[in-house]
Chains A and B, each alone.
Chain A
């Protein structure tokens, strides 16, 4: 079949872990409602597997051996690595899709050097999205990581190539595949500035992302991103890769900077699939 759904969503651990501490529960619940809609959209697409392009946070890889791109090809994955009471997500086993993942990996490798791993531990970067998108963990998941934590950071143009290669790989498969990219926009995660959000920067980037403005989207320098959007801004890579894979324009379904306790501008969007 091919890619049948592409979208993006936020993944900050506070989205589940600090849900009860949110002062503005109306906005929180609106955000959750759009995440529920995203789950229904994925379900109604008939997806047989879900690719999650994430920015893992030292759950699997360290600076002794940090792949720029890695795909999880295991029979199953585990998570969360975090304390379950802290994240408010129980530790579980997530089904993988090893045969499909290997076919995808082999195809992507024609364009982008891709590592793959048969062992994958999920941190909040994947567990929070799965908590909303496949809460029963009954949809096979193929995790993909783009290193967004620190240098060497893969260039944005290369991220675009990765997204395009992943799309081509999906379109070569008989299965119906959904894809979500999950990363923050501007945020200063887990630092004293946690909760700070540069809404203007976010909205400008999201406008570029939704309109497939490739030239401007790929023009950001890491220094600039760090200054304007914090270390968390490096995670735009996951969103750019998803836009590249989708090919069509996006619909920003939800964005709010009014939930700073989640430490990120909360975002839900889906893309048209350019066939």
Chain B
């Protein structure tokens, strides 16, 4: 997994309007500059916030990307929760610093439980 490359692309996209323009014109061209595995490539190409979160993208990078995609705040939060449900715990990055990412599943389960009640 090349989380570093995923985050490097998002860092460049978030802060550079020229990269944003290039990406909007031809995603494949821009993404080909980064050493990505297919899963990462697909997540960035389709704007899959949930999978990017599970892959370990730092929220401070992912949040700006979601804003670029014009995703509303509450939708952004839900997409991450949906991502954990669909793809499993966070696999890498800062959020595995303790608990291997499972803590967010536990929190999610607790929240879902509350909602069901």
- A interface residues with partner B (beta carbon < 8 Å): 13-14, 17-18, 21, 57-60, 62-64, 81-83, 85-87, 121, 123, 149-150, 189-194, 223, 226-227, 231
Contacts and interface: CB of A to CB of B under 8 A. Distances in A.
| Interface class of chain A by DSSP | loop
B87 interface: no
A150 B77 contact: no
B15 interface: yes
Nearest to B68: A83
B61 interface: yes
B94 interface: yes
A191 B70 contact: no
Interface in B1-44: 4, 7-8, 11, 14-15
B11 A57 contact: no
Given A59-B15, A189-B59, A193-B107, A82 B67 contact: yes
Contacts of A193: 104, 107
Given A60-B15, A83-B68, 14 more contacts: A57-B61, A58-B7, A59-B15, A63-B4, A64-B8, A81-B15, A82-B14, A83-B67, A83-B70, A85-B70, A190-B59, A190-B60, A192-B80, A231-B94
Contacts of B67: 82-83, 86-87
B64 A81 contact: yes
A58 B14 contact: yes
Interface of B: 4, 7-8, 11, 14-15, 53, 58-64, 67-68, 70, 73, 77, 80-81, 84, 94-95, 97-98, 104, 107-108
A190 B84 contact: no
A121 B81 contact: no
Nearest to B111: A192
A190 B60 CA distance: 6
A191 B95 contact: yes
Contact of A150 (B8, B53, B58, B73): B58
B77 A194 contact: yes
A226 B53 CA distance: 18
Given A58-B14, A231-B95, A189 B8 contact: no
25 contacts: A17-B73, A58-B7, A58-B14, A58-B60, A58-B61, A58-B64, A59-B14, A60-B15, A63-B8, A81-B15, A81-B64, A82-B64, A82-B67, A121-B15, A149-B58, A189-B59, A190-B60, A192-B77, A192-B80, A192-B81, A192-B84, A192-B108, A194-B59, A231-B59, A231-B94
Contacts of A191: 53, 59, 80, 95, 104
Nearest to A84: B67
Given A63-B4, A81-B14, A189 B63 contact: yes
Contact of B98 (A14, A58, A83, A226): A226
Find the residue from B7, B14, B59, B68 having the highest chain A CB count within 10 A: B59
A204 B68 CA distance: 37
Given A192-B104, A231-B94, A58 B11 contact: yes
B8 A227 contact: no
A14 B58 contact: no
A207 to B, nearest CB: 25
Nearest to A83: B67
A147 to B, nearest CB: 12
A14 B68 CA distance: 16
B72 to A, nearest CB: 9
Contacts of B11: 58, 62
A85 B72 CA distance: 11
Given A62-B11, A83-B68, A149 B4 contact: no
A100 to B, nearest CB: 26
